């Protein structure tokens, strides 16, 4: 194991760095070397700056030598989805319209990672503007699933999940609007956490659907996810939807919060469309909790069947508004063939956006347009209220909900050409975003064909500490996170 620095957990590496057994430069070199060895097959990165990462690592080693280390992330290489701003680094959102964009400032999470001593390592591929479930919508290249290179890593944060599973980074950040952290985490066999809406600042995150977007960590273990969350959570006056709430010591709470917990199984999440091997793996995770003395009961979230529709109205409406800023005037691609200033908008957007982004802008513009607003957008917002009430009612009886993360394991690249079929990948994750809840995907086994499976725990608003403790109870009793793909 000691030879494979790039596959160790933050918790292990922090101890080894603290004991001066290894240096951050050594660790960063290991991540770079691993990336050079496998990236030709995985293609998780949009860009990477090895000299910059090594300079950060050297600065970290200098801090440590001076007795000024900044905590458990000090010297740890962490990759960022290419929708999170890092000053002087490219920020493309995997779109042609931002192909040449360089960030003039840091996102708040970037500042916080720097303050925690992390080494920012690479810009990770995703679906264009985080719209998709397979990372095939990237304008640059698809990313392969490290467990089977002919399959997708999930999406939209597919690069963040694949880089971690391939050992190219020690942890990564993604963003989750309808499942974009949890679904790729499940498909790549890693932990993925979407925090409660408002816990992590969105300042410096390329906006897709602002009332749903949250940044969160991918990590090898639940404990590592807690360590990264610790660094990035907290109120930010630069994000007006940022929530003022006390931030506990998440890692300490993993040890102090012990069950048994009351877990709910939403019956609507185990219906048709669920792959039998996924169902069986999730059932075994449920059996584990039962054996630990947890009270497991069936609950109902009766508006589940409407979540997908509510999501595709609200998310596309917000996207059509957010993406109006890409007009070829102040930044981003400007068409060379436009006839006048208004034509600059039409042609720059036509040349800069890919098919899925155009589809969502069209749908979002339509549901907001005069004559259709009440029937679509306003009605969707009302049904969103009912979806949220379903969850809050369930929490009168249980501490958390347990479900599959994705109805199916990783599918083949190019397999899902129909947009609606792709949208159905998110049926178990979307409700969590609509209700603003925290959700985590935890690895819970493999299919007969060797593809990872994850289960999802859904927590109460801003109760990440207990959500992580429940997830940790399973994670530390199993060794799924020790398995490595044959790359």
Using CB under 8 A as the binding rule, the residues of this chain from 458 to 487 that contact other proteins are 461
CB of 69 to other proteins, least distance (A): 29
Q: Does 376 bind other proteins (CB under 8 A)?
A: yes
CB of 116 to other proteins, least distance (A): 23
Phi-psi region of 70 (alpha: psi -120 to 50; beta: other; left: phi over 0): alpha
Contact 358/139 with Cβ under 8 angstroms?
no
Contact 30/6 with Cβ under 8 angstroms?
yes
Q: Does 338 bind other proteins (CB under 8 A)?
A: yes
Using CB under 8 A as the binding rule, the residues of this chain from 298 to 337 that contact other proteins are 303, 305-306, 308-310, 312-313, 320, 324, 327-334
How many residues of this chain interact with other proteins, rule: CB under 8 A? 74
- Say whether the peptide bond before residue 163 is cis (omega within 30 degrees of 0): no
d(CA 178, CA 162): 19
Q: Does 361 bind other proteins (CB under 8 A)?
A: yes
CA distances from 95 to 92, 320, 432 (A): 6, 15, 27
CB of 91 to other proteins, least distance (A): 9
Look at strands 45-47 and 119-124 and give their pairing: antiparallel
CB of 130 to other proteins, least distance (A): 18
- 158 vs 438, beta carbon nearer other proteins: 438
Contact 192/116 with Cβ under 8 angstroms?
no
Using CB under 8 A as the binding rule, the residues of this chain from 231 to 260 that contact other proteins are 237, 240-243
Select from 102-110, 132-140, 269-277, 402-410 the region that touches other proteins (CB under 8 A): 102-110
CB of 360 to other proteins, least distance (A): 10
- 212 vs 274, beta carbon nearer other proteins: 212
- 418 vs 479, beta carbon nearer other proteins: 418
Using CB under 8 A as the binding rule, the residues of this chain from 187 to 206 that contact other proteins are 196-198
- 376 vs 474, beta carbon nearer other proteins: 376
Candidates 297, 372, 373, 397; binder of other proteins (CB under 8 A) is 372
Using CB under 8 A as the binding rule, the residues of this chain from 125 to 184 that contact other proteins are none
Q: Where are the beta strands (DSSP E) in 319-451?
A: 400-404, 439-446
CB of 359 to other proteins, least distance (A): 6
Active-site positions read 81, 156, 180
CA distances from 78 to 167, 232, 406 (A): 11, 12, 25
Nearest to 168 by CA among 220, 126, 216, 233: 220
- 87 vs 478, beta carbon nearer other proteins: 87
Using CB under 8 A as the binding rule, the residues of this chain from 255 to 284 that contact other proteins are none
Question: Phi and psi (nearest 5°) for 408?
Answer: -140, 155
3-state helix/strand/coil string of 166-179: CCCCCEEEEEECCC
Candidates 37, 149, 296, 386; binder of other proteins (CB under 8 A) is 386
Cβ neighbourhood burial of 70 (10 Å; 0-12, 13-18, 19+): middle
User: How many angstroms from the chain centroid is the CA of residue 303?
Assistant: 25
- 218 vs 376, beta carbon nearer other proteins: 376
Say which residues have a Cβ less than 8 Å from residue 450's Cβ, sequence separation at least 6.
147, 148
CB of 347 to other proteins, least distance (A): 6
- Say whether the peptide bond before residue 156 is cis (omega within 30 degrees of 0): yes
Polymer length in residues for the chain: 487
Candidates 246, 396, 418, 479; binder of other proteins (CB under 8 A) is 418
Residues in contact with other proteins, shown as a per-residue x/- string from 435 to 454 under the rule CB under 8 A: xxx-----------------
- 253 vs 351, beta carbon nearer other proteins: 351
């Amino acid at each position: 194991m000691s030879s494979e620095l790039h596959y160790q957990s933050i918790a292990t590496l922090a101890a080894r760095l603290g004991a001066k057994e290894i240096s951050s430069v050594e660790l960063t070199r290991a991540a770079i070397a691993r990336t050079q060895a496998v990236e030709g097959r995985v293609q998780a990165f949009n860009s990477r700056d090895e000299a910059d990462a090594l300079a950060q690592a050297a600065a970290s080693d200098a801090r440590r030598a001076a007795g000024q280390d900044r905590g458990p992330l000090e010297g740890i290489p962490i990759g960022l989805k290419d929708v999170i701003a890092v000053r002087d680094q490219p920020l493309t959102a995997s779109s042609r319209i931002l192909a040449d964009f360089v960030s003039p400032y840091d996102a708040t999470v970037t500042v916080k990672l720097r303050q925690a001593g992390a080494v920012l390592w690479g810009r990770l591929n995703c679906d264009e503007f985080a719209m998709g479930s397979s990372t095939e919508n990237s304008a640059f290249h698809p990313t392969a699933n490290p467990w089977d290179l002919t399959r997708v890593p999930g999406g939209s944060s597919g690069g963040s999940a694949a880089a971690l599973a391939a050992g190219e980074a020690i942890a990564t950040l993604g963003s989750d609007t309808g499942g974009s952290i949890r679904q790729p985490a499940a498909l790549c066999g890693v932990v993925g956490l979407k925090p409660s809406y408002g816990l992590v600042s969105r300042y410096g995150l390329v906006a897709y659907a602002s009332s749903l977007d949250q940044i969160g960590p991918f990590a090898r273990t639940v404990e590592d996810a807690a360590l990264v969350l610790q660094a990035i959570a907290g109120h930010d006056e630069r994000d007006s939807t940022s929530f003022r709430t006390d931030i506990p010591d998440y890692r300490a709470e993993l040890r102090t919060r012990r069950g048994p917990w009351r877990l709910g199984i939403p019956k609507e999440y185990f219906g048709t469309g669920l792959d039998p091997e996924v169902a069986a793996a999730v059932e075994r995770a449920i059996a584990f909790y039962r054996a630990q003395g947890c009270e497991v009961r069936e609950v109902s979230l009766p508006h589940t069947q409407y979540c997908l529709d509510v999501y595709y109205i609200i998310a596309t409406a917000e996207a059509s508004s957010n993406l109006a800023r890409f007009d070829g005037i102040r930044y981003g691609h400007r068409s060379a063939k436009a006839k006048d200033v208004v034509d600059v908008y039409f042609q720059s957007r036509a040349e800069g956006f890919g098919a899925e982004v155009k589809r969502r802008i069209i749908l979002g513009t339509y549901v907001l347009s005069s004559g259709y607003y009440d029937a679509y957008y306003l009605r969707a917002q009302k049904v969103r209220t009912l979806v949220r009430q379903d969850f809050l009612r369930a929490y009168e009886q249980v501490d958390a909900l347990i479900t599959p993360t994705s109805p199916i394991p990783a599918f083949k690249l190019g397999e899902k050409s129909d947009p609606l079929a792709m949208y159905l990948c998110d049926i178990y994750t979307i409700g969590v975003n609509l209700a603003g809840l925290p959700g985590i995907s935890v690895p819970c086994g493999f299919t007969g064909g060797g593809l990872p499976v994850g289960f999802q725990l859904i927590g109460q608003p801003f109760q990440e500490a207990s959500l992580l403790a429940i997830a940790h109870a399973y994670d530390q009793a199993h060794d799924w996170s020790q398995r490595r793909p044959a790359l």
